[in-house]
Amino acid sequence: MATVEALSMRAPSWRGGFGRLWSAAVLSSFGDALRTAALPLLAVTLTDDPLLIASVTACGYLPWIVFGLLGGAVADRVDQRRAMWVVDALRALLVAAFAVAVALGHASIGLLIVLAVALTTLQTLFDNAATALLPALVDRDALGSANARLMTGQRIAGGLLGGPVVPLLLAAGTAVPFAADAVTFLLAAALIASLPAAEPDRKPRPAGSTIRREIAEGLRTLWRDRALRALCAATALCNIGMGTQLAMLVVLVTDWLGAGPAGYAAAGTAFTLGSLAGGVVNGRLVTRLGRLRSVLLAGSVQTALLIVMGTVRSLAVLVGALAVFGLMGMVWNINTTTLMQERSPAGLLGRVSSAFRTLAFAGVPLGALLGGAVAAAWGPNTPPLLTAAFFVLAVVALIPVLTVNVSVVGPEDGETTADVPR
């Protein structure tokens, strides 16, 4: 195993800012879980039109397609720490205002859609800035472990802790979950504002540089890197399938399996627990296989599990399959993010990250529509099989880059500093 792979497993220090960034991310995930669980419950009290209810979710993805590239370009221009705490402060104000509107009885579907669009638009800047900031807070050989800790902490806060708290908060009032979400945004903003200031690791922009040219530079950088290009294509294909799976999972559980709401809750819990396990085992997998091969393994195993979900009519089998599916999904996410951070030149990470995310998120709404169409035409068990087909294409897209060396991009000058098979 190459030295660089072994070093990439070093644990990050909780000092120097990473601990505060982790705490802010976990707090925000907890608040997001409160809001996302409460919003559908509020929506069904405002309208019984399924299309209007679904439009709230759909509008939550739209800003990534429209503003995602712009968010990455801005993240590379500004002080990322400052951008993040300002965005969190703005999100706190928006959600607090919404909580007041709910408390006063002025909530409406239109207001929910406006909130979803505004929050996700701000998120395009926050997420790209966070991805670009992390390498400045931890040593380069600890990026993999840092991403694993961040994603695992967020999944615990959002998947295990946030959801069960919502009924308790709703008992105190419909506006309470949204008020609590606003508080978590404010606390996260304070933590991020306290991070140590650092000199931006980026080259001065050339004279005449524009946002449009900088966005184009990020897209070109992503396209020219074989490994990142393949990962982006594979992730986009998977996300089309995941849109199908997520939109129709409730139908699979309640209709095809006849398991009802309890079965659906068990399925969601199994996926979350599996994801947490993925954060734990990822380091060992990468040590043995390397990052790209770990991603390929994750996609291959998930493909087989999707076929099982669509063919075996058993809730116990589905719950077990979703647990392993969540584990492999976490392995995929950790390593794609880490590879992007390792391989992007200094000063371009925000734009490369935004290009990657925008292309990846674009497929989710399409997948949701495809899932509804195939379920209506051929039955509620067909969406997992369609998802499996997209995962097969994703795995095929990754295979060619396993035969070449994956280079690590240096932090200062953007030049290759190592050429190591992963």
The 10s digit of each residue's pLDDT in 352-404 is 888 888 888 777 777 877 877 888 888 888 889 999 999 999 999 999 888 65
In angstroms, the CA 153 to CA 185 distance is: 16
**For residues 56-63, average pLDDT:** 72
> Is pLDDT at 49 greater than 80 in this prediction?
no
At 353, the amino acid letter reads S
User: Average per-residue pLDDT in the chain?
Assistant: 81
Across 75-85, b (16+ Cβ under 10 Å) vs e yields: bbbbebbebbb
Domain 1-196 and domain 211-422, same fold? Reply is: yes
CATH number, domain 1-196, options 1.10.10.10, 1.20.1250.20, 1.10.287.130, 1.20.1090.10: 1.20.1250.20
**What 3-state DSSP class applies to 313?**
coil
Q: For the chain, which residues make up each domain, given as ranges?
A: 1-196, 211-422
The secondary element (H helix, E strand) that includes residue 418 is strand 416-420
What's residue 4's pLDDT?
A: 36
Confidence of residue 96 (pLDDT cuts 50, 70, 90): very high
Which pTM value belongs to this model?
Answer: 0.75
pLDDT digits (tens, 9 = 90+) for 60-74: 777 877 777 877 778
pLDDT for 208: 58
What are 408's two structure tokens?
């690590």
50, burial (CB in 10 Å: exposed 0-12, middle 13-18, buried 19+): exposed
Considering only 85-99, 156-170, 222-236, 407-421, which range has the smallest mean pLDDT?
407-421
Residue range 252-300, pLDDT digits in tens: 887 888 887 678 778 888 888 999 899 889 989 988 988 899 999 999 9
Which residues lie closer than 8 Å to 86 by C-beta, 6 or more apart? 189
**Partner residues linked to 206 by β-bridges:** none
Give the span between the Cα atoms of 28 and 22, in whole angstroms: 10
Q: Does the pLDDT value for residue 219 go beyond 60?
A: yes
pLDDT of residue 137: 83
Q: Judge whether residue 88 has pLDDT over 70.
A: yes
DSSP state of 140: G
pLDDT for 184 equals 92
If phi > 0 it is left, if psi is from -120 to 50 it is alpha, else beta; for residue 17 that is left
Token readout for 204 is 């001065």
Question: CB neighbours of 18 closer than 8 A, spacing ≥ 6?
Answer: 12, 134, 137, 138, 146
Question: Using an 8 Å Cβ cutoff, are 380 and 254 in contact?
Answer: no
- State how far the Cα of 140 lies from the Cα of 136, in Å rounded to an integer: 9
Strand, coil or helix: what is 409? strand
- CB-based burial of residue 163 (10 Å sphere; 0-12 exposed, 13-18 middle, 19+ buried)? middle
3-class DSSP state of 126 = helix
User: What tokens appear for 93 in the block?
Assistant: 């104000």
pLDDT > 70 in the chain, percent: 85
Give the Cα separation of 182 and 186 in Å (integer): 6
Q: How confident is the model at residue 411 (pLDDT cuts 50, 70, 90)?
A: very low
Q: Is 107's pLDDT higher than 90?
A: no
Q: Give the CA count within 13 Å in the CB-facing half-sphere of 314.
A: 6
Model confidence at 3, pLDDT cuts 50, 70, 90, reads very low
Residue 409 to residue 352: CA distance in whole angstroms: 13
Helices 109-137, 50-77: inter-axial angle, 10-degree rounding: 30
What whole-number distance in Å separates Cα of residue 383 and Cα of residue 88? 36
Nearest to 416 by CA among 198, 143, 224: 224
Instruction: Give Cβ neighbours of residue 49 (< 8 Å, ≥ 6 apart).
Output: none
Q: Which of 136-150, 195-209, 358-372 has the lowest mean pLDDT?
A: 195-209
Q: What is the pLDDT of residue 420?
A: 33
What amino acid occupies position 160? L
Residue 361 and residue 65 in contact, taking contact as beta carbons nearer than 8 Å: yes
Strand partners, 416: 409
Query: What per-residue confidence (pLDDT) applies to 18?
Result: 84
Pick the CATH number of 211-422 from 3.20.20.70, 3.30.1300.10, 2.70.150.10, 1.20.1250.20: 1.20.1250.20
DSSP 6-72: HHTTPPPPSTTTHHHHHHHHHHHHHHHHHHHHHHHHHHHHH---HHHHHHHHHHHHHHHHHHHHHHH
